[in-house]
Amino acid sequence: MGDFSAKLKVVRMLRSALIFLMVALVPCILLAALFARQHLVWAIGVFAVGLLLVRVAFHVFPCPQCGKPFFRAGSFAGPNMFAKRCVHCGLGDSEEETPSITGANKDE
């Protein structure tokens, strides 16, 4: 799984970009509305374009293992943007093993 780690950094980067855009949206729009009303449309446009680009990236990012969309299960389904594993093959976005309460994934 070591060769997948560089490609899976994109998954973490996309998720971080989405969270940043969602968290920064309200304060930036409020600041633009209070102090720079003439730039309010530009601020809204920047966030709209940023969110649109991240959404498209979530739709098209392929899984390094199976080649299918990492976040999207079907053609009409929206992406599961906070999925930590590929929805098709189960490849995780981190190299450590996911802990199991039942111990079902332990090799004994």
pLDDT tens, residue by residue, 20-74: 988 988 998 898 888 888 888 888 899 899 988 988 888 888 887 788 887 777 6
In a domain, 106, yes or no: no
In a domain, 63, yes or no: yes
Helix intervals (H) in 1-108: 5-35, 40-60
In a domain, 58, yes or no: yes
Q: How far apart are CA 102 and CA 54, in angstroms?
A: 35
The pairs formed by 29-34 with CB atoms below 8 angstroms and a separation of 24 or more are none
Would you state the pLDDT for residue 93? 64
Task: Please give the tally of structural domains in the chain.
Answer: 1
The pLDDT of residue 87 is above 80: no
In a domain, 107, yes or no: no
Query: Which has the higher per-residue pLDDT, 64 or 77?
Result: 64
In a domain, 21, yes or no: yes
Domain of 23, in residue numbers: 1-95
Furthest CA-CA distance within the chain: 65
Backbone angles phi, psi at 62, to 5 degrees: -85, 150
Would you state the pLDDT for residue 95? 53
In a domain, 25, yes or no: yes
Residue among 61, 59, 63, 89 at smallest CA distance from 75? 59
Q: Rg of the Cα trace of the chain?
A: 18
Would you state the pLDDT for residue 49? 93
Q: How far apart are CA 101 and CA 104, in angstroms?
A: 8
Residues 6+ apart with CB under 8 A from 50: 17, 21
In a domain, 4, yes or no: yes
The pLDDT confidence band at residue 75, using thresholds 50, 70 and 90, is low
In a domain, 2, yes or no: yes
